[in-house]
Amino acid sequence: MQMTAIIKEKRDKGCKVTTAIVPEQLKPNEVLIKVLATSICGTDVHIYKWDKWSSKRVNPPNIMGHEFSGQVIKVGNEVTKVKLGDIVSSETHLVCGTCEFCKRGEYHICENTQIIGVDTDGCFAEYIKMPEFNLIVNNMDIDPAYLSIQEPLGNAVHTMLHFDIIDKTVAIVGCGPIGLMGVNIAKAMKSKKIIAIEINPYRIELAKKLGAHVVINPLEENVVERVLEETNGKGVDVVCEFSGNKSAIESSFKYIKAGGKMSMLGITPDLVEFDLSNDFIFKGITMYGVIGRLLFETWNQVTSLIKNHQLDLDLIITHRLPLKEVEKGMEIMISGNSGKIVLIPESKE
């Protein structure tokens, strides 16, 4: 049986809408899922643009995409976690279960991790197969588009909630789609003051709608001076870094409060320089590197936020397009004028 799929066909910019074989041959622990919604991630954009990172990591051809929700339509003979008809989302890191980190439950840093849509075939298709271990069973009454963004939402939740942000001053550095989620999570957690730092006008306005009390544009203002002004000269309690921008990261050490906390998700190709003695050690800073999601603690937090209607997902998702219009979605993402972009496979029922 054939299905529509989006593949990274060759080692060059772009992607291709094509047909592929439905992956119906399942191992005993695998599940076949009909994709209901899939969303574009910054990683997909890197692969689409074929930048330095993706050219070293990805080996075409393979099906792209790693964020999705869908319905279980076939299960392997040893599957017990899900059943036919369940609406599921998926952890995208395929872990080995046998390395020292997996054995002590630290699956998010498994030394043999593979990522769907990067190292294996992904979900920009009508169907995908996944190990049952990775699946999250969802409430069937929730919009599949909302369910499809739980994986990146998990990145935002992991970043924002590692440290206590309730009634704290929080700086959210970089308001791409995950940073925008971070703003909204801070609002849900009732942070005392939410300061967003972003240069794109579209996302500046969206950050305000999602709960930022103050938005600072580094192209127009001195970020350090402005943050200190907004915090009575003390600095922020928590910095949540989503930008991966060298100068933005370096500036954050100047406006974080003594005893402050930093969650670092953004990835930079540059070497970051800061005054280790004065801006880190003598300030008593705690820094945490965020990788993926904690399995499955973070997913439980995400599920709770969605179930209790604590997030403005209707604002976070700014575009819905047919799966075949993936290139349009990529170009919108590249423009910066979007939140999350969701792709919907055509139903053949």
**Does residue 349 register a pLDDT over 90?**
no
Helix ranges restricted to H, the chain: 42-49, 52-57, 100-103, 144-148, 150-161, 177-188, 201-209, 223-230, 246-255, 276, 297-307, 313-316, 326-335
The type of residue at 310 is Q
Is 307 a member of any domain?
no
State yes or no: is 46 an active-site residue.
yes
Find the distance separating the first CA and the last CA of the chain, reported in whole Å. Answer: 14
Note the pLDDT of residue 345. 97
Token pair listed for 100: 């020292």
Phi, psi (deg, nearest 5) at residue 122: -110, -155
If asked whether residues 101 and 209 sit together in one domain, one would say: no
- Please determine, for residue 36, whether its predicted confidence score (pLDDT) is greater than 70: yes
Shared domain check, 31 and 169: no
pLDDT of res. 269: 86
* 44 CB-side CA count, 13 A: 31
Rounded to an integer, what distance in angstroms lies between the CA atom of residue 180 and that of residue 186?
10
Q: Per the domain annotation, does 296 fall within a domain?
A: no
Is residue 179 domain-shared with residue 137, that is, in the same domain? no
> Is 305 contained in some domain?
no
In the chain, the number of structural domains is 2
In a domain, 301, yes or no: no
Q: Tell me: the pLDDT tens digits for 115-143? A: 999 999 999 999 999 999 999 999 999 99
Question: Do residue 70 and residue 128 come from a single domain?
Answer: yes
Is the pLDDT reported for residue 347 higher than 90?
A: no
Alpha-carbon distances, residue 243 vs 42, 43, 115, 148, 179 (angstroms) = 11, 14, 22, 23, 8
- Burial of residue 347 (CB within 10 Å: 0-12, 13-18, 19+) is exposed
> Do 221 and 102 have their domain in common?
no
Q: What mean pLDDT comes out for the span 196-215? A: 98
Same-domain check for residues 61 and 124: yes
Give the structural domain span for 179.
155-289
**Are 120 and 142 within one domain?**
yes
Choose among 91, 88, 107: nearest CA to 99. Answer: 107
Per-residue pLDDT tens over the stretch 145-170 = 999 999 999 999 999 999 999 999 99
CATH code of the domain in which 63 resides = 3.90.180.10
What b/e readout covers 53-92, taking b as 16+ CB neighbours within 10 angstroms? Answer: ebeeebebebbbbbbbbbbbebbbeebebbeeebbbbbbb
The CA–CA distances, whole Å, from 337 to 91, 109, 200, 203 equal 27, 33, 8, 7
Q: Label residue 348 by pLDDT band (50, 70, 90).
A: low
Q: Are 199 and 179 in contact (CB under 8 A)?
A: no
In a domain, 139, yes or no: yes
- Strand pairing partners for 287? 262
pTM above 0.75, yes or no: yes
Q: How many residues does the chain have?
A: 349
Residues 169 and 221: their CA atoms lie apart, in Å, by 19
Same structural domain, 166 and 140: no
12 and 105 inside one domain: yes
Other CB atoms closer than 10 Å to residue 197's CB: what's the count?
A: 31
How high does pLDDT run on average in the chain? 97
Q: How confident is the model at residue 221 (pLDDT cuts 50, 70, 90)?
A: very high
Q: Is 51 a member of any domain?
A: yes
Q: Are residues 124 and 242 in the same domain?
A: no
- pLDDT at residue 344, rounded to an integer: 98
pLDDT score recorded for residue 28: 98
For residue 289, pLDDT over 90 is answered with: yes
Across 316-344, average pLDDT: 98
Of the listed ranges 49-53, 162-166, 199-203, 204-208, the least confidently predicted one is 49-53
Rounded distance, CA 191 to CA 212, Å? 10
Question: Same domain for 186 and 262?
Answer: yes
Q: In the numeric block, which tokens belong to residue 98?
A: 């046998």
Structural domain includes residue 304 = no
121-141 as b/e: b if 16+ CB within 10 A: bbbbbbbbbbbbbbbbebeee
* Residue in 4, 43, 113, 231 annotated catalytic: 43
Structure tokens at 256: 């974080």
| DSSP string for 5-61 | EEEE-SSSS--EEEEEE------TTEEEEEEEEEE--HHHHHHHHT-HHHHHH--SS
> What is the predicted pLDDT for the residue at 346?
87
Task: Band the pLDDT of 232: cuts 50, 70, 90.
Answer: very high
Q: Is 204 found in the same domain as 95?
A: no
pLDDT of residue 62: 97
Residue 264 lies in a domain: yes
**What average pLDDT does range 91-110 have in this prediction?**
97
Task: Out of 46, 120, 268, 286, pick the active-site residue.
Answer: 46
* CATH code of 187's domain: 3.40.50.720
- C-alpha 213/C-alpha 193 separation (Å) is 6
